[in-house]
Amino acid sequence: MESAPPNRSDLLRVTKLTKTYAVGDAQVVALDGVDFVAASGEFVVILGPSGSGKSTFLNLIGGLDTASAGQAWFRDWQITGADDAGLTRYRRNHVGFVFQFYNLVPSLTARENVQLVTEIATNPMAPAEALAMVDMADRMDHFPAQLSGGEQQRVAIARAIAKRPDILLCDEPTGALDSKTGIVVLEALTRINAELGTTTLVITHNAAIRTIAHRVVSFADGRIAAIDTNAERQPAASVRW
């Protein structure tokens, strides 16, 4: 079962990653021996029906949850097997998260939400700079409750990238948005990927989005059913749904 540490050029390497949940007496296999490698700077879109294991996969490689079996490596550091303190450090220094429900701190303004992260990161960008990257420079002093859903999600992205993470993990970032705002959010993600070279994994159940990725990973029944490489990427602005 033990596999060798990944090549140094691979940012993320996953072998036979498995997660089972005990539900009552039954075992639910959420993730069933997944192998996957992501190179530095890649933009990956993850597709798949609901319940196919996408979120479980993302949570495991983001260090939010622990695997039942298999391994995940970040560069030459093993994510699986790290303790809570190790995972916290990993998330703090290397991972940015964006979720469907933006999870902003309601009592902090947009800028302060970003500052929350920059204050504890080792090499952050200025909060204003991060907000400018998502076109939120002019609404920095608004509280989340004063912002639209799309705006809140852009603040969440700014917060996720302000630490200059190595990996940006997005779980259905457009899930709660209408298509127009969703596209603005996707544009922000592709721009960051292009400008900062942040390896980005985006879960969506919206197949139309697949065109903006370098590679498209399709999940089904806890396994990776297919990996397609886009010969040509389309700009986010061209996506329609």
> For residue 84, what are the contacts with CB-CB under 8 A and spacing of at least 6?
none
* Distance separating alpha carbons of residues 228 and 205, to the nearest angstrom: 16
Q: Tell me whether residue 81 is exposed, middle or buried, using C-beta atoms within 10 angstroms of its C-beta: 0 to 12, 13 to 18, 19 or more.
A: exposed
Q: Check binding of 28 to ligand ADP (CB under 6 A).
A: yes
Identify what 174 binds: Mg ion, other proteins, ligand ADP, none; CB under 5 to 8 Å per kind. none
Q: Which does 213 bind (CB under 5 to 8 A by kind): Mg ion, ligand ADP, other proteins, none?
A: none
Q: Report whether 152 contacts 102 (CB < 8 A).
A: yes
Sole binder of ligand ADP in the list 3, 7, 21, 237 (CB under 6 A): 21
User: Could you say whether residue 163 binds ligand ADP (CB under 6 A)?
Assistant: no
CA 43: distance to chain centroid?
Answer: 10
Other beta carbons within 10 Å of 93: 15
Told to check if 56 binds ligand ADP by CB under 6 A, we report yes
Q: What is the DSSP annotation of 75-98?
A: TTEESTT--HHHHHHHHHHHEEEE
Helix, strand, coil shares of the chain, percent, nearest 5, are 35, 30, 40
Query: Which tokens is 68 given?
Result: 């039942």
Given candidates 93, 206, 211, 230, which one binds other proteins under the rule CB under 8 A? 93
Q: Can you tell me which of 52, 55, 152, 200 binds Mg ion, judged by CB under 5 A?
A: 55
Q: CB 191 → other proteins: shortest distance, Å?
A: 22
Residues 6+ apart with CB under 8 A from 190: 43, 212, 235, 236
Question: Cβ of residue 31: shortest distance to Mg ion, in angstroms?
Answer: 12
Q: Confirm or reject binding of residue 195 to other proteins (CB under 8 A).
A: no
Beta strands in 124-234 (DSSP E): 167-171, 199-203, 215-220, 223-229
Of 55, 109, 190, 204, the one binding ligand ADP (CB under 6 A) is 55
Does 56 bind Mg ion (CB under 5 A)? Our answer is no
**Among residues 51 and 86, whose Cβ is nearest to ligand ADP?**
51
3-state secondary structure of 44: strand
Region 94-113 residues binding other proteins, contact defined as CB under 8 A: 95, 97, 99, 101, 103-109, 112-113
* x/- track of binding to other proteins for residues 122-161 (CB under 8 A): -------------------x-xxx-------------x--
User: Which chain residues interact with other proteins by CB under 8 A?
Assistant: 55, 59, 64-65, 84-85, 88-93, 95, 97, 99, 101, 103-109, 112-113, 115-117, 119-121, 141, 143-145, 159, 163, 171, 176
The site for ligand ADP (CB under 6 A) is made up of 21, 23, 28, 30, 48, 50-56
